[in-house]
Amino acid sequence: MKNETFDLQEKLQALLKAQRDISPQGKVANYIPALAEINPNLMGVSVATIDGKVFGAGDDKVPFSIQSISKVFGLVMAMNRVGDKLWERVNMEPSGQPFNSIIQLEWEKGIPRNPVINAGALLIADVLTSHFSSSKLAFLSFMRTLSDDKNVYIDKHIYQSELSHGNRNAALAYLMKSFNNIQADVPEVLSHYFTQCSVSMSCQQLAQSLLFLANKGVDPRNNKVICSAKDAHRVNAILSTSGMYDQSGEFAFSVGLPAKSGVGGGLIAIVPNHGVICTWSPRLNRFGNSVVGVNLVAAIAEELGVSIYH
């Protein structure tokens, strides 16, 4: 990063204001009713650096439904728990298909393309369900530890809504089970998965929680090893090729940072050796990524002169 501390706080405010000033584009996720209830105009951004600084603007302290951003944390937990055997059950290739496609899964006999498409995340949920006595509590505990905030919570209203609109995820899980690639009972796996997706956190909390991915697996705030350097590398690689659904290539092309979005409107981007950017704005583009989020991360990356591709 060029010189990120000087006036980053002001910069973030200016960049956020610029986004507010253009007429809103995209649509709030409506595939589950509870997500559709959100105020679409909320907008926040936070940048956390590995040398301990945190910058923010807008609604950066308002918790929102992290949704698929939870896949990053679930993956780290599963890698820690089962090691390299994990990769016998899930691949690490880009999917080249919309995020919830069942076709690839059938084609490849129940082995998901990677852990950040829905099928792969369900497989991770199965691993966690099978390896923890209470995987939901373990996940929540992991999130509270990383964010250093005991108040991080599961939004029950979102959870119930997910559960009653989870038919496609159920189809994916039962299909994998028919290929013997799900071990626990499917309802239990779905319950873990929807719990994970229903965690509420703010931009500020998410940015700080993911600093270990910018720092070779070590949380720079307390020097705790969250995962191995090798696994931090792997997660960043997967997020780079597959973290933004079917817009992953375009995001690499135009921004160039490992990133993960969620249909709750959140978006996190890792800047290796420097820090983490997190944005939140609920309106989504046709790929399921936050419109303002993509714009903001691109602008911040450009401002800071960071990209992994040059």
Residues that bind a copy of itself in the complex, under the rule CB under 8 A: 91-97, 101-104, 106-107, 113-114, 167-168, 170-175, 177-178, 186, 216, 229, 232-234, 236-238, 240-242, 246-250, 252-254, 256, 258, 272-273, 307-310
- Least Å from the CB of residue 67 to a copy of itself: 17
Contact 194, 134 (CB under 8 A): no
- Least Å from the CB of residue 271 to a copy of itself: 11
CA distances from 107 to 93, 100, 194, 273 (A): 14, 14, 26, 38
Nearer to a copy of itself, 210 or 232 (CB): 232
- Least Å from the CB of residue 65 to a copy of itself: 20
Identify whether 85 is a catalytic site residue: no
Comparing C-alpha atoms, which of 54, 43, 44, 45 is closest to residue 4? 54
- Least Å from the CB of residue 9 to a copy of itself: 27
Identify whether 71 is a catalytic site residue: yes
Residue where the block lists tokens 């873990």: 192
Catalytic residue chosen out of the listed positions 76, 152, 263, 306: 263
Catalytic residue chosen out of the listed positions 90, 152, 161, 245: 245
Catalytic residue chosen out of the listed positions 65, 186, 193, 276: 193
Nearer to a copy of itself, 30 or 273 (CB): 273
Nearer to a copy of itself, 78 or 232 (CB): 232
Give the integer Cα–Cα distance in Å for 125 and 287: 23
101 Cβ contact list (under 8 Å, min separation 6):
95, 117
Give the integer Cα–Cα distance in Å for 5 and 1: 9
Tokens read off for 142? 């992991």
Identify whether 193 is a catalytic site residue: yes
- Least Å from the CB of residue 216 to a copy of itself: 6
CB burial of residue 30 (10 Å; 0-12, 13-18, 19+): exposed
3-class DSSP assignment, residue 272: coil
Give the integer Cα–Cα distance in Å for 55 and 42: 18
Nearer to a copy of itself, 208 or 242 (CB): 242
Catalytic residue chosen out of the listed positions 45, 46, 47, 68: 68
Nearer to a copy of itself, 140 or 170 (CB): 170
Catalytic residue list = 68, 71, 193, 245, 263
